[in-house]
Homo-oligomer: A and B are copies of this chain.
């Protein structure tokens, strides 16, 4: 029987960051392929511990087994993806500009490479106890970059966090990583103190807007402000055109119900606001929502937040309740609400608040050209989705609207499910994230934890190996502005 870990004391936190700081130059000094081996060792160890970890996740996050096993697989896949990225080496963005007396400015030999920032503090999410938590994407990308990680355990799954951390620490040690490469802390105060700790060089966070903003403000208030990569909130608007609804309305509404209720609506990419023609037949959608059973929510805090936001939507004079979910002993059954475009535009602050849990809002429209007015009220989003036909007159403008407010624009699909791949963006303007230049999913997530350093006129024997003319690590380089090659 495992117990809930106690809060980390200030002394323990300081020790964890001191160890991380001591590990930083050693971890940075490893060749990328050596760090790749560390990531793979962690992946192997986590996979091997699935039968131990999955039950802990089921117990603490109240997800079914298949979901937990799938998410663990995603997590270890992600670690291996970063290992592959390290072996390729192009993520280092090496550029070599030989001296050139004919250049438009004085130009000595200059060579650029990305180097790790130093210790990173990672705040995991409640809703992905594996993939966005202790050994999730932020941790994987920071370690890949060469940054030691101090993870803050999410209070929703402290036992899983602790066991995951033990496995990570053991795997790293077994693979020869510097001591202090990974640590775990518990408790709200330890989290705040970690953001303010002088040795912390960056923060990764996945969670709510209020929680993330409070920590962002702390990071910005430091004597030396540090990058804060927060993935906060999004309502992930979905625009369904008249033509799409006419061509395959049943399929669209069925997909909507599936996506909105995935994980009991506890996805940051849940389609929270779906624009449909006002004459769309919603009977089947309503029946689908009404027939769905109850699901446990992640934890009491999520449940309280959900109750509060849903209550506000239900009580709002501009909404109509199509299905009122109920709370039973098994949890919450889904809710479906409706408003119209004018009401949304007039009450955007309230109606566009993220409702994290099993509830979603249909917005009906009369004139689909007026959908573009939504751009005036939509804040930054992780995703915008368009269901349309290729010859839809309004489709190009809706896609452009999507690109202007979101990090990902989805066509005729659903935003839940984020591919871990090179071209992925899981990010967006505030409040989707606090750092619109970046993504927290996909291989370019590593860029958050690297900064450029340029070596000027340094002789071959004193250059880092990655910058030497003989390129012993075989890293792709941009020489004199040409496209990267080995």
Contact A455 B104, beta carbon cutoff 8 Å: no
Q: 0/1 per residue, A386-414, Cβ < 8 Å to B? A: 00001000011001100110111111110
Any B CB within 8 A of the CB of A106: yes
Any B CB within 8 A of the CB of A6: no
- The answer to whether residues A419 and B452 also contact, given A396-B462, A457-B410 and a CB cut-off of 8 A, is no
Stretch in A89-97, A299-307, A321-329 with 4+ CB within 8 Å of B: A89-97
Taken together as a complex, chains A and B put the C-alpha atoms of A390 and B461 apart, in Å, by: 7
Contact A421 B225, beta carbon cutoff 8 Å: no
Taken together as a complex, chains A and B put the C-alpha atoms of A395 and B455 apart, in Å, by: 14
Contact A430 B224, beta carbon cutoff 8 Å: yes
Contact A104 B90, beta carbon cutoff 8 Å: no
Q: 0/1 per residue, A407-432, Cβ < 8 Å to B? A: 11111110001111111110101110
CB < 8 Å neighbour of A456 from B408, B436, B444: B408
* Chain A positions 360-407 with a Cβ under 8 Å from a chain B Cβ: 379-380, 390, 395-396, 399-400, 403-404, 406-407
Taken together as a complex, chains A and B put the C-alpha atoms of A424 and B217 apart, in Å, by: 31
Taken together as a complex, chains A and B put the C-alpha atoms of A227 and B484 apart, in Å, by: 28
Taken together as a complex, chains A and B put the C-alpha atoms of A111 and B112 apart, in Å, by: 27
CB < 8 Å neighbour of A452 from B73, B425, B452: B425
* Chain A positions 442-460 with a Cβ under 8 Å from a chain B Cβ: 443-444, 447-448, 450-459
Closest chain B residue to A114, Cβ basis:
B437
Closest Cβ of chain B: how far from A475's Cβ, in Å? 11
Contact B481 A97, beta carbon cutoff 8 Å: no
* Chain A positions 215-243 with a Cβ under 8 Å from a chain B Cβ: 216-217, 220, 224-227
Contact B97 A462, beta carbon cutoff 8 Å: no
Closest Cβ of chain B: how far from A400's Cβ, in Å? 8
Residues of B within 8 A of A105 (CB): 74, 77, 417-421
Closest Cβ of chain B: how far from A228's Cβ, in Å? 9
Q: 0/1 per residue, A101-122, Cβ < 8 Å to B? A: 0011111101110010100000
Contact A457 B411, beta carbon cutoff 8 Å: yes
Contact A227 B457, beta carbon cutoff 8 Å: no
- The answer to whether residues A456 and B413 also contact, given A227-B436, A437-B227 and a CB cut-off of 8 A, is yes
Offer 24 A-B interface pairs, CB within 8 angstroms, sorted by A: A74-B105, A80-B104, A95-B422, A97-B421, A97-B423, A106-B419, A110-B423, A111-B423, A217-B220, A225-B434, A227-B435, A396-B462, A403-B455, A409-B453, A409-B456, A409-B458, A410-B456, A411-B462, A424-B454, A437-B447, A437-B451, A444-B452, A483-B485, A484-B484
Nearest 10 CB-CB pairings of A with B: A77-B104, A220-B220, A112-B423, A95-B423, A425-B454, A411-B458, A97-B423, A224-B430, A107-B419, A110-B423
